[in-house]
Amino acid sequence: MSTSNGRSVSRRQILRLAGTGLGLAVIGAGAVGCGPEDPADKPVGSAKPSGGKNGDAFTTPPPGTAPEPLWQADAANDNLAGIQALVVVGDVVLVSGDPLVGRDVVSGKEMWSRAGITTPGARLITGGGTLYLSSAEYDGDVVGLDPATGKETWRSRLGKSYQQPRPMAADDRHVYVLAGVLEKDFSTPTNVIAAIDTTTGKVAWSEKRDAGTEEHGITASVVGKRLVYTDYRENLTVRDTTTGRQVWTKKIGKSNYRRFALHEDVVIVADGQRLRAFDLASGKERWSLATEEFSLFKDPQVLDGVLYASDSVRGLWAVNPATGKQIWHNEDLLESAAHAWQFAKVGGTLYGATEFDDEGGVHAFDAATGKLRWTYNDKTGDIQQWYVMAAGKRLAVMHGKRLYALPAV
């Protein structure tokens, strides 16, 4: 592409600038059209039958050829639950929505369905084999379900002084919730993070957060004796899971995305142009890795001891999470693949789900090199983001209100 002043601007440069909001300024109002369509702009591979039906034997197709779904079903996805909208627990795949449905990941058969069991946009939080949800009655209850049957196995409440407790993470001992503190005028200017004992159903500890701290935009996870969370992508905080004591907190950039990564004794966040790793015990920065100029890192994820992250110019990175050393950086995706925001890994293949791109879908990469093998797209034209989860020899894939199973071996 060339601009009105005759300067040549590559597509990679445009995407880099677009990632920082400068693309239109560089191209200018007098930009002319791009050249002929590059073959690499076309979707990678095409759908082919991939084997048996309803969970029978199957094999994955060769590189360059995307598989067809082993099964597909409607999903009540309400697009409100973020990264916890799709989960796989054992042989059951679940989608956040009403009704909440559990499907057999092998056959796609509906195993159970519960209408009106939780609030709209409820995150699917699992811990110790239990699915934890906010009660649909808005009565302060937190409900625990058996993912295999959908039956209620546990229930607790924070009490009348707290409003709308929402599970944010869970482990074998506690379900951790965020709730507003109800004042006499029925306002909730402050909020708490509380841990409910999964044995007794009683509150193990409750800690008030700073006044004015947002109740929304929380992403949380548990590792060992540490509860780690971000709030609206501006703060990174670590608490002791036994006492609720804040171990440390620090400001991070607003460009941090929905997911942070945990590996052994470090937490890794995307902070603008850098991936940053912090020591879980002290908060000290252990390492930092910069991406290219005019590019921002997307959601990082650790799978099988390797950190994977995309950037805003469709680069894909594999990094040693302990040291920050680059393993590989694939820059060949600009013309052929939308960036991935969620990853899954089965064997030697890395799978990445894209967002807001009608030519995106689920990418399959060689995990050793980052080379793109194929892209599955359902050809619906829906620009809703994709989700992908590993499920044994299959992938659970969601796009809009459609749920699929793809072969993964």
| CA dist list (Å): 333 to 22, 153, 194, 363 | 21, 46, 43, 11
What was the pLDDT predicted at 59?
65
DSSP string, 185-244: TS--SSEEEEEEETTT-SEEEEEEPPTT--SSSEEEEEETTEEEEEETTTEEEEEETTT-
Do 111 and 102 meet the contact criterion of CB atoms below 8 Å apart? yes
**Burial degree of 3 (CB within 10 A; 0-12, 13-18, 19+):** middle
- Compute the distance between CA of residue 70 and CA of residue 52 in angstroms, rounded to an integer: 7
DSSP string, 236-275: EEEEETTT--EEEEEE--TT--S--EEETTEEEEEETTEE
Do 46 and 402 meet the contact criterion of CB atoms below 8 Å apart? no
What was the pLDDT predicted at 313?
87
- Compute the distance between CA of residue 121 and CA of residue 78 in angstroms, rounded to an integer: 6
What was the pLDDT predicted at 255?
54
What was the pLDDT predicted at 35?
34
Q: Name the token pair of 158.
A: 């924070």
- Compute the distance between CA of residue 235 and CA of residue 221 in angstroms, rounded to an integer: 14
What tens-digit pLDDT sequence spans the chain (409 residues)? 444 444 444 444 444 444 444 443 333 333 333 333 333 333 333 333 344 444 456 666 677 788 999 999 999 998 888 889 999 999 999 999 999 999 999 999 999 999 999 988 899 999 999 999 999 988 889 999 999 999 999 999 877 777 888 999 999 999 999 988 877 777 777 889 999 999 999 999 999 887 656 666 789 999 999 999 987 667 899 999 999 999 999 988 765 557 899 999 999 999 989 999 999 999 999 999 999 888 899 989 999 999 999 998 889 999 999 999 999 999 888 776 778 999 999 999 999 999 888 878 999 999 999 999 999 999 998 889 999 999 999 999 999 999 999 999 7
Q: Name the token pair of 301.
A: 């994820």
- The distance from CA 162 to its chain's CA centroid, rounded to whole angstroms, is 28
What was the pLDDT predicted at 257?
56
Residue in 27, 34, 36 with CA at minimum distance from that of residue 4: 27
Q: Name the token pair of 327.
A: 């393993």
Do 11 and 334 meet the contact criterion of CB atoms below 8 Å apart? yes
Q: Is 18 helix (H, G, I), strand (E, B) or coil?
A: helix
Cβ neighbours of 256 (radius 10 Å): 24
Q: Is 113 helix (H, G, I), strand (E, B) or coil?
A: strand
Q: Is the dihedral of CA 333, 337, 341, 346 positive or negative?
A: negative
Rounded to two decimals, the pTM is 0.84
At position 332, the amino acid (one-letter code) is D
